Structure 1
Amino acid sequence: MTASEALDRLATLAGIEDGWWDFFGAWRPVPAETKRVFLAAMGFAVAGDDDIAASLAELDARPWRRWLEPVAVLEQGAGRDWVELTLPAARDKDLVTWRLQEELGPVHSGQVQVDGLDWAEERWLDGALVKRWRLHLPALPPLGYHRLTVVAADGAEASMVLAVAPARAYVPPAVAAGHRAWGVATQIYALRTPGDWGVGTYKALETLAAGAAKLGAATVGINPLHALFANLPDRFSPYAPSSRRFLNVAYIDVEAIPEFAESREAGRMFASPGFQANLARVRGYPLVDYPEVARLSRPMLDILYRHFRTAHLAEEDERGRAFRAFQAQGGDFARLFCTFEALQENVVAAGGSTYWHQWPEKLRHPHSAAVTAFAEANRERVEFFWWLQFVADEQLGAAQRAGIEAGAGIGLYRDLGVGIAGDGAEAWLEQDNLALGVSVGAPPDPLALKGQDWGLMPFNPIALKEAAYAPFIGVMAANMRHAGALRLDHAMALTRLYWVPPGASADQGAYVRYPTDDLFRLVALESVRNRCLIIGEDLGTVPEGFRERMDSMDLFAYRVMVFEQTDGRFKWPTEFDEKALTTFATHDLPSVRGWWNGADVALRRRLDLYPREDMAEGEALARQADREKLVHTLSEEGLLPEDFPTKGVMTDAQADILAEAAHLYLARVRSRLMMVQIEDVLALDTQMNLPGTTDQHPNWRLRFPVELEVVLADPRLKALARRLADGRGTKR
């Protein structure tokens, strides 16, 4: 085997695809150097030909050198009741004992002679024959995570995680077969309430959840709630978080914290003229100013935490005990996350780097002695960040309960981002399971014609399986907490991710495969365990068979009306997917009004986001054609006059008419869930995020021009809710 062939073989085994088709129809082969970069990020030595040969030999032989794989994910009812057991042929006559410890406690065991098992395959390794057998279990344990251990007579043993998953994900009754429902979509930061401190809050979400449910909405969809950078408030993108397993504390409603009403010191600070003046100024901004919000809230939160320690922890009252129980539930991972928060605060305050990879060597790994010593010496500060998570979790839980108690059939619909920032807490915690040094993105497509580099760290697919998928499972479970539905941003990550080498343009990346069968089954398992509907955002470049797999496992698709066209027209209601969520647009697209006016085309042109000027011209012409097609489709359904003007900037009245018509059309499609965005109810010409930009557009900062109570009382929303009641939420 030549050196080039060895590199290609190693890349293939590691999941790196040889090339990809771009949206122009051209095949883009992956160069050898890109493969080397990706393999190095996965932890393989590839500096020279000998290194590559050694890495290939190790990876190829790895599953033959251990008795059991780290994990097996089996599907309940699929007929497979066995796991693979790999042993040297010299142990053919050995008696081995197996022991299965179920997640909830019961233990099962048995004993077998190795050569009495079903033979599967064999190979020579280091001059000795190694055989693979199938160890059958009497029956699969219940759904969940169990541990299987095999012990030989001489005491040698091995163990693995045995995950048993359902064939399908959970689907709530509100959108079960024959039922349809609708919901309201929003960005939390955009919500205005009289008591907010310059940014939307979990308390505002509670008000919206209850109010929307009373109007007939089954769910409220929200942006990702992932923990951002508590010590770096200018890092505010919900899709570039510090950690996806914890909550964004910027959304805490400070005045709703019990300690706020109890603390005299907090009351004095709040009542001071200077504080009130700053608060009034920040509340009035049309955009969220995250650093100013933090300057207001952090000193107050410090005061409230000190009061909490004195009044509740020291007294060990009910609230103090609830906090201790929350800590116990979070375990070591939560403790280390909060340690990171305190560490980063300490390092930044001392003038150090925000990036943990540039911290002193002794602090770069979460399990180092220096990190443990820091946590002990700064226990109260670590617990401050833990208390912030406790408060955020309380307030989010209250929002979910408010919706359900008001009649929502699903409740909150959360959003799981596709990755994490490389300098955040989760990258520090999971550094052994990530592909550090590369980033996740997307190849060129109609939304981002130059491709996208999101700057996010991907899981290392090799390390992920070695860790028995614990990092993936933890992220899934955390984001289903206090939720009835979960959107998987860029759901194709269950099959493959587009990695971008450092310093390369976004169109110079390559796809890396992930263990599809296992990840799909684990999503279904967590969905059932948490009674949470799964919606996969399957837009962009979708691998063959991916959508069919989603459908077969009851993962709902994500259908955006502006993209749902066929044969030169918009799809008719009967042509939409049944197991899907439909919406007119998303946070990455303009509102109905903005789309109609071509505001996004003009903005991308002004910001030079088109590779060629003729593409901008072409998209402007295509948008005009789309307007005409949309009017035709809506008029055919009797929802819009045939002579509805398709040229010129629309008036307020026309914007209201078009938004209502578009949503009533979506109410007729066969998809079981539809969403209504608040910006469309208000007929705003906005776009929350412009893909391919950072600070050129006010991404993640736009606030609604009116308060939430005004939105809930808006005649347009009430009228639409009444109309939706005729075609949604009832059995067809």
Structure 2
Amino acid sequence: MSDAAARDLSALARRCGLQEHWIDAHRQARRVGPEQLHRLLRALGVHCESADDVAAAHAALDATQRGTPALLVARAGYVLPLPQWRDGPADLVSGADEDVHPVTLESHAQGAQLRLPIKPGYYELRQAGQAAQRLAVTPRAPDMDALLGRSEPRSWGVMAQVYSLRETHLDPVLRTWGHGDLATVASLAKRLGSAGADVLALNPLHAMFSADPAACSPYSPSNRLFLNVLYAAPAQVLGEAAVRQALDSLPPKDWAALDQGAEIHWPRAAAARLQVLRRLHEQFATRDASLQRDYRSFCEQQGQPLRDHAVFEALHTFHIAAAGQIQPCTTWDKTWRDPRSRHVRDFADHHAKDVDFHCFTQWLAMASLAHAQATARNAGMGIGLLSDLAVGVSPAGSQVWSDPDSFLHGVSIGAPPDIHQPRGQSWALSALSPSAMQRRGYDAFIGVLRAALARTGGTRIDHILGMERLWLVPEDGDPADGAYLHLPVDALLGLIALEAWRHRSLVIGENLGTVPAGFDDRLRDHGIGGMNVLWFMRDSEAESAPFMAPEQWPRDAAALTTTHDLPTLMGWWHGTDIHQRRDAGRLSPEKTATQLLTERQADKLALWSCFGDGSPLPASAPLPAMLAFVASAPCALALASLEDIAGLDEGPNVPGTTVEFPNWRRRLPGNTMTAMDSPPWRDRLLALRQTRERS
């Protein structure tokens, strides 16, 4: 490639948002090669094989930039330039109630400008002779002070993996069937609320694959608009009598046996639950008329996206049954991959009962979530349930199948090589296309936000750094061959803040890893909280840096003991995470497990010196003291994982592994509700609660 061609390609990549130059975890300058740029540009839908292609792509970008965005996103009270408008009278129409607000556009050097209203919301700007312009007027997201109605709150809560919960009741109607569900969440929320907690944070509840329950990572969902129906709590919606009737009509089953293992057998547990749900669906026609009206109203409200998801679920089941093995939709015949094809329409008509079943289970799941949130609030929780918004979706899931034009294809979201993951990571996830979002007025993104905030008290956004840039890995490529793609960060964060304001919800983001310069300031500006995780709260970025005193932790971020991808308190103390990475072959070549364990011993001494009583370093993790250390931070919210309350060595997930460990399958020991009354759990919760009350 000539120097001129290389410069043109670099310029095109830059205009498309690709970052050619970047700094790796070792502070070394790196550059994306021309071949990688070609592959990534093709994935973005940009042809760049020849000089003519590159010139045509530049021309297309010029035309796009001259056009009017489908949705302009700007802060309330700011002045918005409108280059293609004229000064004079106009109308600002509220998108919610069609209220008309006369406004005057002021003269601007390149056209006109509008001083935006103070009240946030969605509007349409109209002026005679001018095409209407959609506007999103954004606020700061509400913080804990505003949501709880008190200044400088000292709230606390617990993080739980829904599936790990367990209730071992003699009555099968009241027990868990192989994994936790939203009934167990409601019970846990009631107990925590009565103890003074304000938040119960959950793993992602997104829709998974009913026909392939072994694909169980909640961070690789089928569809972020809908819920995992295996979490539905039918007795909370239809009543215990309906569930008992369904169970009695099925062949006898040892329901207790499903709950006895330390790990979940997802195919077996899912088969049992789906059998009950299908029987409930068959019996639903005889149920209370008000429930049937509620179900029909739900289907009308959810519209085409719900039907698409239900049709996909039925099609997925059909293909697996026909082939006798898992058949991802990416391998289906082309006619089945088009949700609007005649073949798909005919299939849906001929399998109307199956399609309705999948709509019905979504209704049950969403009603179950609403019930759990109401239970949390009625128990005294100021926020209630905190959902978790995964960073992307499976490319073989219903959301990409239903709306392929909204997603990037031929690439996966991932992470570049770093100290902890020297090979880098490719997460096999599809991301929303930035150009499609802008072209379509961010509708797909807004839909995902609304789904995350519906029926909850807020959401945690996984890998919120992805609002500014995503590491894209070419399909079948090495993670090190990827590149950063920049996104319209201010628009995305503004829309997050707007939807949080509209729902009166809490939003925090996982701002961990290599944080772009100025990104945390952007979060603060939009009122979005970050995360202070104990293991990363050091006085400097050096690996051996001493731990930062809790009073120095940033106040505008939640204080956390750990996350689902990091070691538990007990596991960190025992070096379990190091042993796991060694066993999985995931250690960096720079250091052996022995060296890392030696460094961990020094870290333990450093942490113990922050809160210990001068006695020798204990052999086992001093969990109450560690919990109190995190809880003493001046943050408005402190969260401890239920694994830490239980004193477990192993966490839910070991990053970078798939089959080496039982990721997303571990259950908490014993009956979760009974365990909360045990002295160890009670002492640890008390350390968390009392420290928050005293601080």
State the TM-score bracket (shorter-chain normalisation): over 0.9
Superposition deviation, residue 350 in structure 1? 2.4
Specify which of 411, 426, 431 is matched with residue 453 of structure 1: 426
Counterpart AA for 2:74 = L
Other structure's SS at 1:396 match: helix
Specify which of 298, 313, 316 is matched with residue 341 of structure 1: 313
Superposition deviation, residue 117 in structure 1? 4.7
CA offsets, 1:337-358, max 9 Å, x none?
Answer: 2222122222322229733333
Superposition deviation, residue 219 in structure 1? 0.8
Q: Where does 1:161-172 land on structure 2 (aligned, <5 Å)?
A: 161-171=134-144, 172=146
Specify which of 143, 152, 158 is matched with residue 178 of structure 1: 152
- Which residue of structure 2 aligns with residue 223 of structure 1? 203
Superposition deviation, residue 414 in structure 1? 1.3
Matched, 1:700 2:680: no
CA offsets, 1:268-300, max 9 Å, x none?
Answer: 345x44x22xx3332211101110012212222
Counterpart AA for 1:85 = Q
Question: CA 1:446–1:306 in structure 2 vs 1: closer, same or farther (change >3 Å)?
Answer: same
* Contact 2:463–2:511 (8 Å) recurs in 1: yes
Counterpart AA for 2:114 = H
* Contact 1:593–1:684 (8 Å) recurs in 2: yes
- Which residue of structure 2 aligns with residue 682 of structure 1? 646
- Which residue of structure 2 aligns with residue 292 of structure 1? 268
Question: CA 1:415–1:170 in structure 2 vs 1: closer, same or farther (change >3 Å)?
Answer: same
Specify which of 181, 185, 190 is matched with residue 164 of structure 2: 190
Superposition deviation, residue 682 in structure 1? 2.0
Specify which of 28, 31, 34 is matched with residue 30 of structure 2: 28
5+ long unaligned stretches in structure 2? 169-174
Superposition deviation, residue 500 in structure 1? 0.7
Whole-angstrom distance in 2 between the partners of 1:390 and 1:405 = 22
Tell me which structure has the larger Cα radius of gyration. Answer: 1
Counterpart AA for 1:285 = G
Whole-angstrom distance in 2 between the partners of 1:726 and 1:260 = 38
Superposition deviation, residue 158 in structure 1? 3.1
Whole-angstrom distance in 1 between the partners of 2:240 and 2:191 = 25
Superposition deviation, residue 367 in structure 1? 3.1
Counterpart AA for 1:484 = G
Which range moved further: 591-600 or 330-339?
A: 330-339
* Contact 1:558–1:580 (8 Å) recurs in 2: yes
5+ long unaligned stretches in structure 1? 87-91, 121-132
Whole-angstrom distance in 2 between the partners of 1:436 and 1:666 = 41
Whole-angstrom distance in 2 between the partners of 1:427 and 1:6 = 32
Matched, 1:80 2:79: yes
CA offsets, 1:381-409, max 9 Å, x none?
Answer: 22211111110111111111111111111
Superposition deviation, residue 722 in structure 1? 4.0
Whole-angstrom distance in 2 between the partners of 1:158 and 1:546 = 35
- Which residue of structure 1 aligns with residue 58 of structure 2? 56
Question: CA 1:727–1:353 in structure 2 vs 1: closer, same or farther (change >3 Å)?
Answer: closer
Question: CA 1:633–1:225 in structure 2 vs 1: closer, same or farther (change >3 Å)?
Answer: same
* Contact 2:230–2:274 (8 Å) recurs in 1: no
Whole-angstrom distance in 1 between the partners of 2:203 and 2:689 = 25
CA offsets, 1:677-704, max 9 Å, x none?
Answer: 2222221211210001001111000001
Whole-angstrom distance in 1 between the partners of 2:528 and 2:58 = 36
Superposition deviation, residue 142 in structure 1? 3.8
TM-score by length of 1: 0.88
Which range moved further: 198-207 or 444-453?
A: 444-453
Whole-angstrom distance in 2 between the partners of 1:245 and 1:136 = 34
Q: Where does 1:107-186 land on structure 2 (aligned, <5 Å)?
A: 107-108=100-101, 117-120=107-110, 133-136=111-114, 140=117, 142-149=119-126, 152=129, 158-171=131-144, 172-174=146-148, 177-186=151-160
Superposition deviation, residue 205 in structure 1? 0.3
Other structure's SS at 1:440 match: strand
Which range moved further: 688-697 or 321-330?
A: 321-330
Counterpart AA for 1:625 = A
TM-score by length of 2: 0.93
Other structure's SS at 1:643 match: coil
Matched, 1:586 2:563: yes
- Which residue of structure 2 aligns with residue 266 of structure 1? 246
Specify which of 289, 309, 332 is matched with residue 304 of structure 2: 332
Whole-angstrom distance in 2 between the partners of 1:225 and 1:603 = 27
Matched, 1:70 2:70: yes
- Which residue of structure 2 aligns with residue 388 of structure 1? 361
Superposition deviation, residue 97 in structure 1? 7.4
Matched, 1:533 2:486: no
* Contact 1:443–1:507 (8 Å) recurs in 2: yes
Matched, 1:709 2:683: no
Superposition deviation, residue 373 in structure 1? 3.6
Q: Where does 1:372-521 land on structure 2 (aligned, <5 Å)?
A: 372-521=345-494
Which range moved further: 164-173 or 185-194?
A: 164-173
* Contact 1:7–1:52 (8 Å) recurs in 2: yes
- Which residue of structure 2 aligns with residue 719 of structure 1? 683
Superposition deviation, residue 264 in structure 1? 7.9
Other structure's SS at 2:508 match: strand
Counterpart AA for 1:522 = L
Question: CA 1:343–1:561 in structure 2 vs 1: closer, same or farther (change >3 Å)?
Answer: same
- Which residue of structure 2 aligns with residue 127 of structure 1? none
CA offsets, 1:686-732, max 9 Å, x none?
Answer: 121000100111100000111111222122333344444444258x7
Specify which of 519, 538, 549 is matched with residue 565 of structure 1: 538
Other structure's SS at 1:728 match: helix
* Contact 1:203–1:395 (8 Å) recurs in 2: yes
Whole-angstrom distance in 2 between the partners of 1:456 and 1:533 = 26
Whole-angstrom distance in 2 between the partners of 1:355 and 1:33 = 29
Superposition deviation, residue 82 in structure 1? 4.4
Q: Where does 1:623-642 land on structure 2 (aligned, <5 Å)?
A: 623-635=600-612, 640-642=613-615
Whole-angstrom distance in 1 between the partners of 2:179 and 2:343 = 37
Other structure's SS at 1:85 match: coil
CA offsets, 1:89-116, max 9 Å, x none?
Answer: xxx9x9997774533112356899xxx9
* Contact 1:101–1:146 (8 Å) recurs in 2: yes
Whole-angstrom distance in 1 between the partners of 2:343 and 2:82 = 41
Superposition deviation, residue 252 in structure 1? 2.1
Specify which of 592, 605, 620 is matched with residue 582 of structure 2: 605
Figure out how many residues of one structure are paired with residues of the other and give that number.
681
Superposition deviation, residue 668 in structure 1? 1.4
* Contact 1:430–1:471 (8 Å) recurs in 2: no
CA offsets, 1:489-515, max 9 Å, x none?
Answer: 111011111111122222221100000
Other structure's SS at 2:19 match: coil
* Contact 1:582–1:671 (8 Å) recurs in 2: yes
CA offsets, 1:427-472, max 9 Å, x none?
Answer: 1123101111100011123432321111101121111111111111
Other structure's SS at 1:52 match: helix
Superposition deviation, residue 675 in structure 1? 1.0
Whole-angstrom distance in 1 between the partners of 2:474 and 2:525 = 35
- Which residue of structure 1 aligns with residue 171 of structure 2? none
